[in-house]
Amino acid sequence: MGGTKTLMGLTVTVSCLSGIPFLLFSDKIFRTIGHPNVQIIGFVVYVIRFIGYSYLNNPYLCLVYEVMESTTYALMMTSMLSYAAQLSSTTTLATVQGVFAASYFGIGRGIGTFMGGFLIKWFGEGNLDKTVGARSTFRLLGVVSAIVALLYFLFNIFYIRRRNNKIQNDEKQSPQIAATNGKAGGIENPVFINDQQISNKVNDTNVVIVRI
C-alpha cells in the first residue's frame, strides 16, 4: 500500500504508548471484570483489528488499529501472567509462567509466522494486486479469532464460572476447605505475601527469631 519506514516505526510507538494507561489500571480492570472476560474482550478486539486491516487502502489508517494493541497485547499479556500466578502454588509458579512464555513466544509465534507467510503467498498467488494475499489472510484470522472468542466464552460460562461457584460454596460450608483452596490457588504465593502474612507464619510454626 505504499507505507514508509517512518510509518512502520510509528506503528510500534503508537501501540506501546496506548498500552500504558491499561497497564496502570490493569489491576482494577482484572478485579472488576475478571481474567476470563479480559481474554474474551481481547479476542473480540482481535476480530475488529484483523477485519479492519483487510479493508485498508490508506496505510496511515493502520495507526487506528494499532491503538487497539493496548488491549490485544498489553492487557491480555498482563492478564495471562497474573492469572497464571493466581492459579499456581508457590512451587509451580515459575513452571507455569515458563510454560506460558514458551508456548506464546516460542511455539505460538513460530507457527503463526510460518502459517501467516504461507497463507499470504497461497491466497495471493497469481494475483496482480500484491495486497490480495494479506487481505485474505487477515480476514481468515478474523474468523478464527471470532471462533476462539466464542469457544472461550462458552468455556467460561459452563466450566470456569461453575467451578468458581462450587469453590465459593465449599468455602462457606467449611473453613478448612477454604484454607486448602487458598493455598492451592496461590494466595500464599511470594508475589502476594505481605508483612502480616509473614508474621502469622512465624507464629504458627513457633519459630523464635533472635535479633542481634
pLDDT tens string 127-137: 777 888 999 99
Assess whether pLDDT exceeds 80 at residue 138.
yes
Cα(124)–Cα(132) distance, rounded to whole angstroms?
A: 5
- For the segment 178-206, the average pLDDT, to the nearest whole number, is 45
Query: 72: domain CATH number?
Result: 1.20.1250.20
**Total structural domains in the chain?**
1
Q: According to the model, what pLDDT value does residue 199 have?
A: 47
Rounded to 10 deg, the angle between the 175-184 and 161-173 helix axes is 140
Q: Is residue 212 part of a domain?
A: no
Tens digit of each residue's pLDDT (9 = 90 or more) over 8-50 = 888 989 988 999 998 899 989 999 988 989 999 999 999 999 9
**Residue 151 pLDDT class (50, 70, 90 cuts):** very high
**Residue 155 pLDDT class (50, 70, 90 cuts):** very high
Q: How large is the C-alpha radius of gyration of the chain?
A: 23
Rounded to 10 deg, the angle between the 26-33 and 35-54 helix axes is 110
Q: According to the model, what pLDDT value does residue 193 have?
A: 40
Q: According to the model, what pLDDT value does residue 211 have?
A: 41
Range of the domain at 145: 5-204
Q: According to the model, what pLDDT value does residue 126 have?
A: 76
Q: Is residue 211 part of a domain?
A: no
Q: Is residue 111 part of a domain?
A: yes
Q: According to the model, what pLDDT value does residue 179 have?
A: 52
Q: Is residue 209 part of a domain?
A: no
Residue 44, Cβ neighbours under 10 Å: how many? 17
Q: According to the model, what pLDDT value does residue 55 have?
A: 92
What is the reported pTM? Answer: 0.75
Q: Is residue 102 part of a domain?
A: yes
Q: According to the model, what pLDDT value does residue 29 have?
A: 92
Assess whether pLDDT exceeds 60 at residue 194.
no
Contact 92, 106 (CB under 8 A): no
Q: According to the model, what pLDDT value does residue 150 have?
A: 95
